[in-house]
Structure 1
Amino acid sequence: MVFSWQGDPGCRCLLLSLLLIPVWEAGSGQVRYSVPEEAKHGTFVGRIAQDLGLELAELVPRLFRLASKGRGDLLEVNLQNGILFVNSRIDREELCGRSAECSLHLEVIVDRPLQVFHVEVEVRDINDNPPVFLEKEQKLFISESRMTHSRFPLEGAWDADVGVNSLLTYKLSDSEYFMLDVNSKNEENKQVELVLRKSLDREEAPDHNLFLTATDQGKPELTGTVQLLVTVLDVNDNAPTFEQSEYEVKIFENSENGTTVIRLNASDRDEGANGEISYSFNSLVPPVITDQFRVDTNTGEIVTRGNLDFENTNLYKIRIDAMDRGHPPMVGHCTVLVKVLDKNDNVPHVALTSLSLPVREDAPFGTVIALISVSDSDSGVNGQVTCSLTPSVPFKLVSTFKNYYSLVLDSALDRESVPSYGVVVTARDGGSPPLSATASVWVEVADVNDNAPAFAQPEHTVFVRENNAPGRHICTLSARDPDAQENARVSYSLVERRVGERALSSYVSVHAESGRVFALQPLDHEELELLQFQVSARDAGVPPLGSNVTLQVFVLDENDNAPALLPGGAGELVPRSLGAGHVVAKVRAVDADSGYNAWLSYELLQPAAAAAGGARGPFRVGLYTGEISTTRALDEADAPRQRLLVLVKDHGEPALTATATVLLSLVESGLAPRASSRAPEGAAGAPTALLDVNVYLIVAICAVSSLLVLTLLLYVALRCAAPPGEGAARARAAGKPALVCASAVGSWSCSQQRRQRVCSGEGPPKTDLMAFSPSLPPCPGSTGAMEVPQASLDSSGKVGGFSLLFIHIFII
């Protein structure tokens, strides 16, 4: 601390030794210090951070701050060293007036976590105020007939200091007529009287000028002086007198106007006009007395005229003069001490400070939400306040110091159940009847990302027709998150995976905000019958939470594939000796569609030339088998070369068709294989029995040669099936080769094969002649089966959900 002292060096050392020791106590969460008033800026008060158990490094991060009731700038804390010092001028008289005790109540608040400490700094009085008289001069009128030792009350001085600094001694200037007498009955009413020590003679000395000096007992001593103007009066030599020089009365505050305080009675030994008395307030009475009381001039009754407030002033000192009507008039004096008694007329005051809102729903028990201070201007039990909470809320009040509470969390919070609470703090005093006051605080519960977005169901199924337009909206997915704001803002995304050799994102996309799912390209039922994937919903919380939903997109078939003719021989040799009902050829076709769209039927558009007279043609085709058989026995009238045009049609809406041209050559029986009336048997399509053993050797040689040529043709056809540049891609997409077989009826196809282009070694690709063997079971190991590229497979090894069909090509 830094002090300036002008007094005795010994006293100065003693005072410095006392002031350099900060007075503090740590009990019930309170620290006490002491500082003299008028201390200079920067004067050391105490090591507040150390005394409160706080680390210097955490003062700034924890938002260490100082708050005080009233003047908040008198003291300050150095956040670098944790020292509490004087920041601005402290005037004890301005803060506490005449109160014997004067202290500053400080609230030290730190956050993270929130803590509050209570510090009281006692402001010690120094002798900085000299005694002051209300008037610069006091006039006294004294009759010359007054006896010696007569007493004349004087208005004493007033010192704003307290304690020893306000104890006054009085000294009168030298006078042969007067002396001073100070009667110290009590500190509240010290009587200063001028005593006549020698009879007055108006003719010798009509006036006397005296000086009254008041000196306090502070260090250093301070003085005040007032001039006493004594006028010597003649004639009336008896002044009125009261029964007591001092009266003490008690009255309750808030008494009605006109309530009688006391009735005074003064007497005068004189007779006539000199003995008639009138009462009045002394001229030196302050205005506050005349505002609150009035005195009846005739009866001496003092009554109230204003509202008495204990909290404002609890003691009044009234000086009454009793003046006779003599010439000159004489005056008697008395003092009335009016003590005001307290009543429970002030409701408690509730103040909510340092609100820490909103409160996170995952806040731990004991989290401080608000600081509450209560006060009551009444005294005694009337000023004792208790607090309670209503209604039933997950909070409680914890008393931290006298009339100070903390509102803390007492049970778990769930914003999704109760987003906010209305808390009412009720303060009730101990008076009779008790008075109460309330304060309300609305506690908002801050959201924590503790709920993941949830879909209404874990799986959704939608149906989409193939060949949809690119960008078509498939469906809208929606997930609900009960959290708030960013924690409830849901974004959607695909759970990426591979669909065959392609990424899922090449087929579909999902809008991140709306959850709308779109098809990015036309879907092909023949390529992909079921597209199953997951969509993820994530909120924007930290950390984000999410969930997935499975979406099954079934691609519905449309009749978008015409029947495709399988490659085969360009012509057949038919013996003229065949009778009716013999199968001579077969048209083979498949349809990449499924269901009714792949159900094929055959129709002969251009039958062979009929016999003269409108006879029907010699050949017909099976409606669902594609087998070309004779309708009658062949004769010489039939042309040697028959050109048949077969129409292949599916059952879609609208129906799609394809045509095949079959060339038949009629030969003599010895030059052609023997016809058979039943379908070929065997997966490899074994050749029919030879009609003549004599040509066996020739047919065998021809068969071996045809096998060699057909093998070469098939190789070339497979190489030409994909356009240049697509062969590698199709090879990668195909994977292992899969066989496709016809169904039991010979034309029903459930294959999801892409249409293949078959090329011969010379000229454009041919698809008009097909050899088909009905009712042949799948024989993946048969030597006559043709391998075609495998379609896109699902996880079960099926193409579009159906078993692979095998196409058997018979070598004639």
Structure 2
Amino acid sequence: MMSVVQVSSREMLAETCIIMLLLQRCFSVDLTYHVEEEKNSGTYIGNIAADSLLMDSVALQDHGQITFNQLQQRQSERAQLFNVSKTGKLYTTEKIDAEVLCTYNTECFRIIKVAVHRADSFMQILKIKVYIEDVNDNYPVFPKESISIEFSEEHSKGVKRSLPNAIDRDVSFRNSQVSYVLEKNLNEPFTLSVTKRGFGTSELGIVLEESLDREIKDTYMLQVIAKDGGVSPRQGVLKVQISVIDVNDNPPVFSDRVYNVSIKNTHRTSVPIIILSAKDLDYGKNSQVSYHFSSKTSEGTKKQFRLDENSGEVFLRGKVSSNRISSLKLYIDATDGGNPPLSSIALVLVNIVSQQNNAPTIEINFVSRLKENVAAISEGIKVGSFIAYVNVIDNDIGLNGEVDCEITHEKFQLLNLGSNEYKIIMKKQVDREVKEFYDIQLICQDKGSPSLKTVRKFSIQVMDVNDVQPQFTKDTFKFLTYENEKPSFPVGFINATDPDLGDGGRLTYYLTGNRKKIFPFEITNNGFISTIQSLDREQQDIYEFKVFVKDNGSPSLNNTANVIVEVMDENDNAPYFTFPSVNPFNLDVHYHPQSKNDITVIRASDRDRHVNSFLKYEIVGGNNKHLFTVNPYAGVLSFSRTVY
């Protein structure tokens, strides 16, 4: 029997109105979601049905009637980035790139519209706002990897050269915010100027902190590091080459301000009397030097000389028709190619000498003469010791015959005795091991005009004195040798050196040590150690003694070093039993089948070392019935089976 419940139409209408009001209130809620860019297609974003609380107002049995559909939008809005399932779950449809979708430093989001249906009837449209969160996936990038800029030597502090700024394509402020650091050497006079501009960009510049000098350094290599503000910051690098542009700030400089040149009145016109040289530290045209007669040079003098403006060579224009001594002054300008040009001046004193003038003659008498122009001294010679007598002869008249002399070495001194006589003495001590030969010049110059000079070259050889102790190459010499070798077996080589000459550098070696011990070794005069008898490692494996070396100088000098000889083992000892210690050996054994199989432990020893002393045990006879076995390494003798 069926029971029928009748509901009036007014009650049904009231119930329907309540449900519609509840649904209308729920469907008016907008939702907001966040998703990171660069996530794979199909990434889950959220559950619209659950997050909108819509299902809370619908009976559980009616949940299946609620469906969701994404509405089609304009192509420009890229709504196809997302997909809404029938059950209201929101997914991405492709990998999203915030830098493609959005502009710098703005909220990056997309609005999608979702229609909600119940059964076949339309109920509500939800607006879903999806924020696309930027990730730090872009490096700051400069337009170029490197750039070249220039500063001039004339630039002062504060001059700036612009640099391109780096661009980071990330859209969020933090990830695209770029900071800059200048990498340079500590003493390089540059700083980085950074001025913030709009849209995350900056105005960059290299600022000069002090004037530059191209002659000291003409090129600088710097790096500008651009780093973004991400949690794991990324960075880009701009290499900056700075070239210093030359300014004509250095005049040409002669090697001397005054040049003295003496020529004969028969000097040939094709041979230069002097070659002038001036150096300019500038670069390019600023360093190109030309030579000209200065306005200070008289016109009459200019007519007698010719100057090559490129090479600086000075020539006579013709023969000087004079038998007397004369002096002419040439003022030479060296001018560079700068704009404006810089110049410097030098004076050339040209002394034209008649054939009647004579240079001084030098005679030297050595205390100890080895050969022509070579004297000998001992390295032990004292300061002030007499070495040679010098006599200078100049038969010219007047100032032409007055002579001054000097010696050119700091170890020796020339003393004037008067009347053009001198003596050479020691000024400083000498050491033959440091230097054996000294080349010396004795220069004598008269006071004539022009002055003539004579240079006498000679050598002094330092003779050796035994003043250096022999030195071993090591404090301790370590050698390995073998036992059982025949006498005279080589052990090793001892090396000592002595820089003295002759007997002072000739060495003799001896072995020394504890007098109570007799060492089975001998050493030759050349330092070779060998055995004098066969060695037995089992008696002694380490020998320690000293080697004594002395030179054969007078007095003799000596030194000592330590020697350690280790004797290497040979397999020259047979193993011997320590248990049983008698042969034959009788052993009574009480056997029981239930007892342990071990009988006893065989012990043996070997006086050799290492692998030569490793032992292995085996039964070699009397075990025909295979009743016994022995552990090859432990020596344990055991029953190998039951006895009966």
TM-score where L is the length of structure 2: 0.46
TM-score where L is the length of structure 1: 0.38
Structure ranking higher in strand proportion: 2
